[in-house]
Homo-oligomer: A and B are copies of this chain.
């Protein structure tokens, strides 16, 4: 068939492999049932080893390429459902039914990914057969006195980059989610102070008035100073922090997993301390947050469809796309394993 020439540039799909990603919650990973997951499009099987500690292997039996996740976990090994080969969390083949002789062998290994269970999540290192030099991200207010923490998983049909940028983008919030968190522009000019360091970039919004939306009114009836930070932390965490007055503090860590080129899982970990009790806040905040995500999900999915149809992304930015270029810079450096330079700047925008 005659096809249109693909338009440059293609989608921005960096692979920061030497970093930790969330593959599942602790609760999802049962003792005897391995889980099928994908990271950067690569099928992985997660299972619990002999000591209950999780392990992750490439989800393909080296023998006849049936996915190991189709089988079961037997005595801390994952067993292929086809011929019964068994692998430990290190990827070594430990048993082959019917075989006379040793089961282990170089060609019979399954690539193995470093795995940690921490804060209720199963984290995996993005590169196989290497010893990580870092540890997974910690959630700062998880278990802190006075704080409530809730978690929620959603899936976006967008690239990691687009999903991260969406989570940290102020202008679309003012427009798309108008009336939920924000409302029509009041013509107030605020400043975004941007600080980029080796593993993160932060925007501090200065001069932001208490938002007129329904949420803000509940949180801080008497007004009060608003402190607002948006942060991107390598390789895939979008962090939004708000203080409204003295009594309200909320930190949202959206930990992204690049499942496939255009599929991104989001585990949101929300810690908050409010002037009104958590049991009142939660049933109000949760449906609002899900409504916000549903609106964003449509944008990311139709963006993805359009990018695929045109054979690539063709994004134009303005200065109020405050964090986008810094996120790209950090991800590009992380993919190459090089450090990114520090940078400070400032941008004005109208809200």
Residues of A at the B interface (CB closer than 8 Å) are 1-2, 4, 10-11, 13, 41-43, 59-60, 62-67, 70, 81-84, 96-100, 105, 107-108, 162, 170-172, 174-176, 185, 189, 261, 298-299, 302-303, 305-320, 348-351
* Number of chain copies forming the complex: 3
Asked if A65 contacts B100 (CB within 8 A), the reply is no
CB < 8 Å neighbour of A99 from B100, B162, B299, B349: B349
Query: Distance in Å from the Cβ of A173 to the closest Cβ of chain B?
Result: 10
Interface of A is mostly: loop
Chain B residues with Cβ under 8 A from A314's Cβ? Answer: 60, 62, 65
Asked if A66 contacts B299 (CB within 8 A), the reply is yes
Asked if A310 contacts B60 (CB within 8 A), the reply is yes
Asked if A306 contacts B60 (CB within 8 A), the reply is yes
* Apart from A64-B303, A65-B313, A66-B306, 11 more pairs, CB < 8 Å: A59-B306, A64-B315, A65-B314, A65-B315, A66-B303, A67-B302, A70-B302, A98-B174, A98-B349, A99-B320, A105-B316
Asked if A1 contacts B306 (CB within 8 A), the reply is no
Chain B residues with Cβ under 8 A from A59's Cβ? Answer: 306
Asked if A43 contacts B175 (CB within 8 A), the reply is no
Residue with the greatest number of chain B CB neighbours at <10 A, chosen from A10, A83, A174: A83
Chain B residues with Cβ under 8 A from A261's Cβ? Answer: 1-2
Contact flag A307-B97 (CB < 8 Å), given A2-B10, A172-B83, A316-B108: no
Asked if B316 contacts A98 (CB within 8 A), the reply is no
Contact flag A299-B82 (CB < 8 Å), given A99-B350, A315-B64: yes
Asked if A41 contacts B318 (CB within 8 A), the reply is no
Residue with the greatest number of chain B CB neighbours at <10 A, chosen from A97, A108, A171, A320: A97
Asked if A176 contacts B2 (CB within 8 A), the reply is no
Closest to A324 in B: B64
Chain B residues with Cβ under 8 A from A319's Cβ? Answer: 99
Asked if A97 contacts B313 (CB within 8 A), the reply is no
Closest to A170 in B: B98
Asked if A65 contacts B307 (CB within 8 A), the reply is yes
Chain B residues with Cβ under 8 A from A170's Cβ? Answer: 98
Asked if A83 contacts B315 (CB within 8 A), the reply is no
Query: Distance in Å from the Cβ of A306 to the closest Cβ of chain B?
Result: 5
Query: Distance in Å from the Cβ of A171 to the closest Cβ of chain B?
Result: 4
- Measured in the bound complex, the distance between the Cα atoms of B81 and A150 in whole Å is 30
Closest to A299 in B: B82
Closest to A2 in B: B13
Query: Distance in Å from the Cβ of A57 to the closest Cβ of chain B?
Result: 13
Closest to A11 in B: B1
Chain B residues with Cβ under 8 A from A108's Cβ? Answer: 316, 318
Contact flag A308-B189 (CB < 8 Å), given A107-B316, A174-B98: no
